[in-house]
Amino acid sequence: MQLTSCVIFVLGAVQLCTALALRDPLWMIVQEATGLFANVEVRTSGKNHSLNNIIRDVSEEDDLIDIKYVDLDPEKPKRSTPIHLNALAMVKDHVDSATANIKVKYGFITLLNRNYDLCAELKTNLNKTCPVDKGPIEVKVDVDIPGFIPPGWFHLEATAWRDSDEKQLGRILADVKF
């Protein structure tokens, strides 16, 4: 699934997951469905701050990744329009290997619910390798948004964890309307 899982868990690009989810065979089923806004879980502990107009960091304070920023250009994605993602996160502790669970919904319909090996994604898409040491990690990527995305709300939830001890790396939520 290309760069999406790594970028999403670390830096939260709902556009990437949406674009890939729509390539899934289930897309034919949901193509004619109408979008209903998916209610977002409200948290009372941990972080809960916006990274931009679409993506919210809902990680716990002791998570191993601290997302500094996620810039999107243009700020609001549009069908058939490329989007540039530039993001920075601080890795707080050494990570030998990691997994991310990515969920994408169109209204109440789940388009994607899958785990990804983040080290494989790093190597394939960012030319970086695991282990990842403490310090900054920057991601710059361009993604073409497909023109066939139906109108409505898409909701993304991404959670990542270190494989050795299942310590959470981070968690983001994103909502985008096409």
Instruction: Tell me the per-residue pLDDT of 51-99, one tens digit each, with 9 for 90 and over.
Output: 999 999 999 999 999 999 999 999 988 999 999 989 999 999 999 999 9
Confidence class for position 45, pLDDT limits 50, 70, 90: low
Over the stretch 86-128, which tens digit does the pLDDT of each residue have? 999 999 999 999 999 999 999 999 999 999 999 998 888 778 8
Is the predicted pLDDT of residue 31 greater than 60, yes or no? no
- Residue 56 has a pLDDT of 95
Domain positions in the chain? 4-177
Complete DSSP assignment for 117-174? EHHHHIIIIIS--S-B-SEEEEEEEEEEPPTTPPSSEEEEEEEEEETTT--EEEEEEE
- Residue 124 has a pLDDT of 82
Task: Specify the pairing of strand 109-117 against strand 65-73.
Answer: unpaired
Looking at the domain 4-177, which fold is it?
A: Ganglioside M2 Activator Protein; Chain: A, (2.70.220)
